[in-house]
Amino acid sequence: MNKLASELNDILEGTACGRLLSDFGRRIYFPKGILSQTAEANKQAHRQNATVGMAFIDRTPMELPLMRKQLPGLEPSQAVAYAPSSGDPALRERWKQEILRKNPGINPDEISLPLTVSGLTNGISLIADMFLDEGDDVVVPDMFWGNYRLIFEERRLASLKTFPFFSEEGELNIQGFRKTLEEAGKRGKVVAILNFPNNPTGYSPTKDEAKKLVEEVNSVAEQGIDILIISDDAYFGLFFEQDTEKESIFSPLSNLHPRVLAVKIDGATKEDFLWGFRIGFVTFGGKGMSRKQYIALEKKLTGSLRSSLSSCSRPAQSLLLKGLGSPGYLKEKEQYNKEIERRYLKVREILRVSDTPQRLEPLPFNSGYFMSFRCNGINAETLRLKLLGKGIGTIAIQEKYLRVAFSAVDLEDIPGLFDTIYETADEL
Ligand X SMILES: Cc1ncc(COP(=O)(O)O)c(C=O)c1O
Interface with ligand X by CB under 6 A: which residues? Answer: 119-121, 145, 195, 199, 232, 234, 267, 269, 280
Least distance to ligand X, CB of residue 195, Å:
5
The Cα–Cα gap between 8 and 296 comes to 5
End-to-end CA distance of the chain: 61
Minimum separation from the CB atom of position 199 to ligand X (A): 4
Q: Are 318 and 78 in contact (CB under 8 A)?
A: yes
Checking phi first, is residue 391 left (phi over 0); if not, alpha (psi -120 to 50) or beta? Answer: left
Query: Shortest gap between Cβ of 78 and ligand X (angstroms)?
Result: 22
Closer CB to ligand X, residue 61 or residue 200?
200
Pick the closer one to ligand X by CB: 74 or 312: 312
Q: Among 142, 148, 151, which Cα is nearest to 172's?
A: 142
Cβ closest to ligand X, residue 199 vs residue 424: 199
Of 407, 401, 409, 418, which is closest to residue 144 (Cα–Cα)?
401
Nearer to ligand X, 103 or 198 (CB): 198
Residue 236: CB minimum distance to ligand X, A: 10
Name the minimum Å distance from CB 272 to ligand X.
Answer: 11
d(CA 257, CA 266): 22
User: Of the two residues 120 and 296, which places its CB atom closer to ligand X in the complex?
Assistant: 120
Nearer to ligand X, 267 or 357 (CB): 267
149 secondary structure, DSSP code:
I
116 vs 424, beta carbon nearer ligand X: 116
CA–CA gap between residue 300 and residue 345 (Å, rounded): 44
One-letter amino acid at 418 equals F
Separation between Cα atoms, residue 222 and residue 285, nearest integer Å: 18
Q: Which of 156, 143, 296 shows the shortest CA–CA distance to 232? A: 143
Of 158 and 316, CB closest to ligand X: 316
Q: How many whole angstroms separate alpha carbon 125 and alpha carbon 377?
A: 36
Q: Using an 8 Å Cβ cutoff, are 56 and 77 in contact?
A: no
CB of 106 to ligand X, least distance (A): 21
Tell me which residue of 284, 274, 357 sits closest to 318, measured CA to CA. Answer: 274
Minimal distance, residue 121 CB to ligand X, in Å: 3
Asked whether the beta carbons of 164 and 173 are under 8 A apart, the reply is yes
Q: Taking a C-beta distance cutoff of 8 angstroms, is the pair 323, 98 a contact?
A: no
Alpha-carbon 333 to chain mean position: 19
- Residues 6+ away with beta carbon under 8 Å from 36: 30
- Nearest approach, Cβ of residue 398 and ligand X (Å): 16
In whole angstroms, how close is the CB of 265 to ligand X at the nearest point? Answer: 8
Q: Indicate the residue among 268 and 296 with the shorter CB distance to ligand X.
A: 268
Question: For residue 292, with 0-12 CB atoms within 10 Å meaning exposed, 13-18 middle and 19 or more buried, which class applies?
Answer: exposed
CB-nearer residue toward ligand X: 39 or 395: 395
What are the counts of helices (DSSP H) followed by strands (DSSP E) for the chain? 18, 13
Shortest CB 234 distance to ligand X, Å: 4
